[in-house]
Amino acid sequence: MKSEALARVASACITAVLAAQPYSTWMTDSIMAINVPKTRYYTEATFYRGVEYVYNATHDEKYKWYLSSQIDAILTDNGSFVNWNPNSRQLDSIRVGETLLFLWGQMGEERYRNAIAFLHDELLAQKRTDEVAFWHKDPEYPNQQWLDGLFMGDTFYAHYTALFEPTNQTAWDDIVLQFDLMEKHCRDPKTGLLFHGYDQSHQREWADPVTGASPHLWDRGIGWYFMALLDVLDWLPQSHPGYEKLVNYFTSLAKALRKSWDCKQGGWWLVMDAPYPGMKGNYIESSGTAMFVTGFLKGMRKGFISRKEYEKFTLKAYDIMAAKFVGRNETSGALTWEGTVKVGSLSGNATYEYYIDQPIQRNMLNGVGPFIYASAEIEALRGQLQM
Ligand SMILES: *[C@@H]1O[C@H](CO)[C@@H](O)[C@H](O)[C@H]1NC(C)=O
Ligand SMILES: *[C@@H]1O[C@H](CO)[C@@H](O)[C@H](O)[C@H]1NC(C)=O
Ligand SMILES: *[C@@H]1O[C@H](CO)[C@@H](O)[C@H](O)[C@H]1NC(C)=O
Ligand SMILES: *[C@@H]1O[C@H](CO)[C@@H](O)[C@H](O)[C@H]1NC(C)=O
Ligand SMILES: *[C@@H]1O[C@H](CO)[C@@H](O)[C@H](O)[C@H]1NC(C)=O
């Protein structure tokens, strides 16, 4: 009952706000104005994906020029990366490849193409487990595959393959296999959600003796994975035997996520496994929530889940999320994004205490980006912008 009322209030005030300016562009403009560091790091690249969404919807050139000016600061004239660290090879470094593919598609400049080729080489040179899953980070996290990595590396791998090697079956099989292995080790039969990662060598103290999986369901990890499934399905040929499999991974996860939405709080908990939802220190976290809402919206747009079943729920989840986590700076008029946890990693002991101890940060781009994706999707759905 309480959440019904909240949803009504939220819809009322958001409609008023949207009439003035859509959240997608408003949030993007607000974040652009506060000087996002010019790095090649995945956190910035997660925001850049939002800028790309907004460019596609508005065709306002300022968004394209913004992305090229951010990226040009990290490339030399011939497209090699400045400050590349050859001693740590990690999937996180591949994420910016999606932004490069976008810029190359828009501008056709050779240095972007060179940078793309370099990232592809780096990805293929990444060490792998015995079952040939990419390590998340070498040398730091040997034999570990994390949910995060599918969004960081596999989406670029699929996009690249679709553009440059569309008939390379070896590559497509390899891309699908990364999801198969994640499913094999981390899907939790009890909840239908996935544990954050696994260590195939079972060396880490947190590794389950049978599966190697880490012990907790972390919202943002699951969010990366949920979005990665859809982004890879944008490129994977429908004729590939993995296509139906990935659709099933997505739809079963969508079902489990819908069930784990807390209808009293109107969102998803940071640590999602029982008995932690509602427990002291745990909270409704905004980046995972935005990623799940994005997945539901895009999943409906692509026809993988039905509007009949999901639309009402998703609109409500979006409105409550926006009411809870969008703030406004009264001096500048800029929007802020609240409630996103700064980090969650398997580098430590992976306990409940570890996850809840991590700080929450305003305007954290891992949450801002997905909120922009969700906003662009919902505005298109509500007929406010063309996609
Ligand atoms: C934007 O459009 C380009 C070109 O059509 C496409 O490749 C890209 O995936 C789109 N990006 C998003 C975020 O929808
Ligand atoms: C690109 O330029 C950098 C120096 O700016 C140089 O170290 C590198 O070898 C060049 N790469 C190619 C492929 O020409
Ligand atoms: C096909 O993909 C595999 C794996 O990504 C790669 O090693 C191989 O070089 C590719 N082959 C061609 C002809 O591009
Ligand atoms: C609000 O905006 C003003 C003016 O741009 C800025 O000085 C201030 O730091 C902002 N406050 C917060 C909390 O972001
Ligand atoms: C795990 O690490 C957290 C800090 O991140 C600490 O508070 C907690 O006591 C540790 N737990 C164990 C069992 O070592």
pLDDT, tens only, 340-354: 999 999 999 999 999
Inter-residue contact 317 to 267 (CB < 8 Å): yes
What average pLDDT does the segment 166-171 reach?
Answer: 98
- Output the average pLDDT for the chain: 94
Give dist(CA 7, CA 351) in Å, integer: 34
- Point out the residues that are catalytic: 148
pLDDT (0 to 100) of residue 384 = 61
Ligand 2 pocket, residue 203 CB under 6 Å: no
In this structure, which ligand is nearest to the CA of 362? 4
Q: How many A from CA of 79 to the centre of ligand 2?
A: 8
Does 353 sit in the ligand 5 pocket, CB within 6 Å?
Answer: yes
Q: pLDDT-based confidence at 21, cuts 50/70/90?
A: confident
- Number of residues written out for the chain: 387
Q: Which domain holds residue 303?
A: 38-381
The percentage of the chain sitting over the pLDDT mark of 70, rounded to a whole number, equals 94
Q: What is the pLDDT of residue 383?
A: 84
> Which atom of ligand 5 lies closest to the CA of 354?
5
What CATH number is associated with residue 94?
A: 1.50.10.10
Ligand 2 atom nearest to 76, measured from its CA: 5
Classify residue 201: in a domain, yes or no. Answer: yes
Question: Counting ligands in written order, which one lies closest to the CA of residue 215?
Answer: 5
**Which residue owns the Cα nearest ligand 1 atom 1?**
56
CA distance 371 to 378: 10
pLDDT at 5 over 70: no
C-beta of 331 in contact with ligand 4 (< 6 A): yes
CA 257 / ligand 1 centre spacing (Å): 26
Which has the higher per-residue pLDDT, 298 or 83? 298
Q: Which of 123, 170, 174 to mutate to test the pocket of ligand 3 (most atoms within 8 A of CB)?
A: 170
Quick check: is 127 in a domain? yes
Alpha carbon of 345 to ligand 5 centroid (Å): 13
Whether 51 is covered by a domain: the verdict is: yes
User: Which ligand lies nearest the alpha carbon of 216?
Assistant: 5
- Ligand 4 near 170 CB (within 6 A): no
Condensed to tens digits (0 to 9), the pLDDT of residues 42-97 reads 999 999 999 999 999 999 999 999 999 999 999 999 999 999 999 999 999 999 99
Q: What is the mean pLDDT of residues 196-200?
A: 98
In a domain, 30, yes or no: no
The sign of the dihedral angle between the CA atoms of 237, 369, 127, 179 is negative
Domain annotation covers residue 14: no
pLDDT of 20 above 90: no
pLDDT of residue 11: 41
pLDDT in tens, 220-229: 999 999 999 9
The CB of 169 under 6 Å from ligand 4? The reply is no
Average pLDDT over residues 322-344: 95
Q: Whose CA is nearest to atom 3 of ligand 3?
A: 171
The best mutation among 30, 330, 331, 361 to test binding of ligand 4, ranked by most ligand atoms within 8 Å of the C-beta, falls on: 331
Closest atom of ligand 2 to 80 CA is: 1
Candidates 256, 375, 259, 247; CA nearest to 299 is 247
Residue 81 alpha carbon to ligand 2 centre in Å = 9
Domain membership of residue 12 (yes or no) is no
pLDDT average, residue stretch 2-7: 41
- For 108-158, the pLDDT digits (tens) are 999 999 999 999 999 999 999 999 999 999 999 999 999 999 999 999 999
Please give the pLDDT value at position 2.
38
> Taking every pair of C-alpha atoms in the chain, what is the biggest distance, in angstroms?
59
Answer whether residue 5 is part of any domain: no
**pLDDT confidence bin for 161, thresholds 50/70/90:** very high
Contact (Cβ atoms closer than 8 angstroms) between residue 224 and residue 150: yes
**Residue 183 pLDDT > 50, yes or no?**
yes
| pLDDT score for 386 | 52
In a domain, 20, yes or no: no
Looking at the structure of the chain, the number of domains it has is 1
Q: What is the number of the ligand closest to the CA of 363?
A: 4
Contacts of 84 (CB under 8 A, 6+ apart): none
Residue whose CA is closest, atom 7 of ligand 1? 102
On the question of pLDDT at 19 being above 50, the answer is no
Of all atoms in ligand 4, which is nearest to the CA of residue 336?
A: 14
Q: What is the mean pLDDT of residues 205-231?
A: 98
Angle between helices 286-301 and 242-260 (to 10 degrees): 130
Give 346-387 pLDDT, tens digit per residue.
999 999 999 999 999 999 999 999 999 999 999 999 986 554
